[in-house]
Amino acid sequence: MDRWVGKVAVVTGASAGIGAAIAEALVKEGLLVVGFARRQVKLEVLAKSFHGLKGKFYVKQCDVSNEEDLVAAFNWVKTELGGIDVLVNNAGVINSRKFLDDDIPSLRNMLNVNFVATAIGTQEAVASMRSRKVPGHIININSVAGHVTPPVPMAISAYCSTKYAVTALTETVRKELAAANAEIKITSLSPGFVATEILQKASYDATVLERFRHVPHLEPKDISDAVVYVLGTPQNVQITELTIRPLNETIFAREYSPVRNRQIVMIRIKHAIRTWRTLELKTNGAYSKDTNITLKNTTAFYQQIKIINDQKLTGFLVLNKTTTDSEQSQSRSNKCFTEIEKNRDQRTNPRRSMDRWIGKVAVVTGASSGIGAAVTEALVRKGLLVVGIARRVERLEKLSASLDGAKGKFYPRKCDVGKESDLLSAFEWVKTELGGIDILVNNAGVVKHCKVMDDNIDSYRNMVNVNFMATVIGMHEAVASMQHRKVSGHIVNVNSVLGHSIADLPMPVSVYPSTKYAITALSEVTRKELAADNVRIKVTSVSPGFVSTEIFETGGLSDTEKLFQRTPHLQPKDVADAIVYVLGTPENVQISELTIRPVCEMI
């Protein structure tokens, strides 16, 4: 982050929640941060609390939904501080009505705050960066709601629509900047549910708010950590999408599933029984009328769970220190929540670190070259026991020699991941010799540079087997190993930008994008299944743009040197660093998608 020290950052919606956490993180990193928000008093309190940190915090009262106000605030930054180097478009509102019940002024406000202010801010920031010829960075705090609408309609009005607009805007601006060869980065950062004031402000009723307290969620600090990571990437590396969710996210998944709720409650039961004298199990009216049941022991609790399941109710647990008296119940519950929140704060500290992986077993496929070799090196240097698998064992031996004396250990294994028997015996070896797998990096991949219809069946089969089938089999083996040993594991699938959109490439790539789309689907389906079963295994899709590796030459492209010279590209280490970042996030934080490209990538 050193290159940002003394630079100017604007954070909109800085008075609370994610914006306040981002402002604090950036001031700590030494930036001059201007916080925009309506509540001046809140901003001033923050300014006081940042006193003595490396950077500086400037308060700018501004209603971002008011164009004049917003433009005046940007003009103030220009006049007083010279211009903008970093813009974090964070201000956002949500609303507790169904879209069809919402009124026009309310819709307009949501659109103005969530989208129009982001668009105006982006224009202002790009103009400022270009006129001063500085390589700036714009981060749009998007949402998972900018990529998918909830399966069961939630009352969030047009929130998803405004965030989808942010997704489209971010991609449009990225491509325009690339076409203009402007070294300005733009990132869409899409959090799942984060515990902030946004829901209270949206006027949800108490039952809904209470339910939200009990679903897995992130802390604002998790998002500010991610912001610091994307800002800290090297000058030519651009994280274009970072989707960050609580592990086992239930919102936007099976929030209303009674099975899922039983699981949430059951995890808490052991701790609850130890800590509290009575339990109050509340079910809410999603499918039935409200019910409150006070329980004094686990047997009663399990009986009640059965009833809840049979009646298809949804439920959550309220912990009380004394036998519940209905009049005092609410205040006691609140007190309990405060204590739960305190514990939660401790749980999420310390934050990013690879320490918990020291001595753990990682398997990296395709470790003999490119991204796989770089990931292997990074993990061995971080102290892991890394099994690197590939066909070219002599390459693996060479890598092994170069890692002599590193903190961890490297185990080279010859294996053709396209052959099921070979792959299964490699996993069997890991189980017998090292006890099991904690991390799996599914990286081995091949491409063929010819048109789909000019390719042949053996080539299709090879791409499907290496890129997709080996990933499915690997995930199957890794999850079995992690579940059997009850460990919190992590699976990273090395995907591609071609797994998300079909680009006009300068060369044909046969069925390669199809195999990568399959990885996108596989990663998401597995993530959701693991979340529904409350399994503490993370799944991350890492999707690189163009990286200078052997894959193109192996795929039949000639003169790859020329291609690298004329095309912006990443180095394998850039992708390895991103994988280290996702592995190092706190246990409850899951990066479900990280898209990484060279700055100015045209596709």
Ligand X SMILES: NC(=O)c1ccc[n+]([C@@H]2O[C@H](COP(=O)([O-])OP(=O)(O)OC[C@H]3O[C@@H](n4cnc5c(N)ncnc54)[C@H](OP(=O)(O)O)[C@@H]3O)[C@@H](O)[C@H]2O)c1
Q: Which of 159, 229, 411, 517 is catalytic?
A: 159
Per-residue binding letters, 378-407, with ligand X (x by CB under 6 A): ------------xxx--x------------
Backbone dihedral angles phi then psi of residue 292, each to the nearest 5 degrees: -120, 130
The answer to whether 159 is a known catalytic residue is: yes
HEC readout, 240-261: EEEEEEECCCCCCCCCCCHHHH
Residues 54-93 within binding reach of ligand X (CB under 6 A): none
CB of 555 to ligand X, least distance (A): 8
Q: Which residues pair with 9 in a beta bridge?
A: 33, 86
Backbone dihedral angles phi then psi of residue 241, each to the nearest 5 degrees: -140, 130
Q: Is residue 550 exposed (0-12), middle (13-18) or buried (19+ Cβ within 10 Å)?
A: exposed
Among 417, 475, 491, 539, binds ligand X (CB under 6 A): 417
Do residues 238 and 598 touch, judged by C-beta distance below 8 A? yes
CB of 447 to ligand X, least distance (A): 7
* Cβ nearer to ligand X, comparing 340 with 603: 603
Per-residue binding letters, 120-139, with ligand X (x by CB under 6 A): --------------------
CB of 418 to ligand X, least distance (A): 4
User: If binding means CB under 6 A, how many residues of this protein chain bind ligand X?
Assistant: 30
* Cβ nearer to ligand X, comparing 186 with 390: 390
Q: How far apart are alpha carbons 315 and 277 in whole angstroms?
A: 20
Among 35, 92, 246, 366, binds ligand X (CB under 6 A): 366
Among 546, 568, 578, 596, binds ligand X (CB under 6 A): 546
Among 66, 329, 554, 567, binds ligand X (CB under 6 A): 554
- DSSP calls for 216-244: --B-HHHHHHHHHHHHHS-TTEEEEEEEE
Q: For ligand X, which stretch binds (CB under 6 A), given 188-196, 297-305, 308-316, 539-547?
A: 539-547
* Cβ nearer to ligand X, comparing 415 with 440: 415
* Cβ nearer to ligand X, comparing 318 with 494: 494
Q: For ligand X, which stretch binds (CB under 6 A), given 22-30, 80-88, 366-374, 476-484?
A: 366-374
User: 537: closest CA among 598, 478, 471?
Assistant: 478
Per-residue binding letters, 432-471, with ligand X (x by CB under 6 A): -----------xxxx-------------------x-----
CA trace torsion 344, 347, 350, 354 (10° rounding): -130
User: 470: closest CA among 500, 491, 499, 497?
Assistant: 491
User: 34: closest CA among 68, 8, 70?
Assistant: 8
Bridge pairing between strands 278-284 and 314-320: antiparallel
* Cβ nearer to ligand X, comparing 390 with 518: 390
Do residues 301 and 294 touch, judged by C-beta distance below 8 A? no
Among 220, 370, 412, 513, binds ligand X (CB under 6 A): 370
Among 22, 177, 318, 371, binds ligand X (CB under 6 A): 371
HEC readout, 344-400: HHHHCCCCCCCHHHCCCEEEEECCCCHHHHHHHHHHHHCCCEEEEEECCHHHHHHHH
User: 209: closest CA among 97, 96, 90?
Assistant: 96
- DSSP calls for 170-219: HHHHHHHHHHTT---EEEEEEE--B-STHHHHTT--HHHHHHHHTS--B-
CB of 593 to ligand X, least distance (A): 14
Q: For ligand X, which stretch binds (CB under 6 A), given 49-57, 209-217, 347-355, 548-556?
A: 548-556
Residues 231-290 within binding reach of ligand X (CB under 6 A): none
* Cβ nearer to ligand X, comparing 488 with 554: 554
412 binds ligand X (CB under 6 A): no
Among 101, 420, 550, 559, binds ligand X (CB under 6 A): 550
- DSSP calls for 50-82: TTTSSSEEEEEE--TTSHHHHHHHHHHHHHHHS
* Cβ nearer to ligand X, comparing 163 with 516: 516
* Cβ nearer to ligand X, comparing 21 with 417: 417
85: tokens are 């180097």
Among 142, 188, 314, 368, binds ligand X (CB under 6 A): 368
CA trace torsion 203, 208, 213, 214 (10° rounding): -170
Residues 559-588 within binding reach of ligand X (CB under 6 A): 572
* Cβ nearer to ligand X, comparing 568 with 586: 568
Binding region for ligand X (CB under 6 A):
366-372, 390-392, 395, 415-418, 443-446, 466, 494, 496, 544, 546-547, 549-551, 554, 572
Which sequence positions are flagged as catalytic? 159
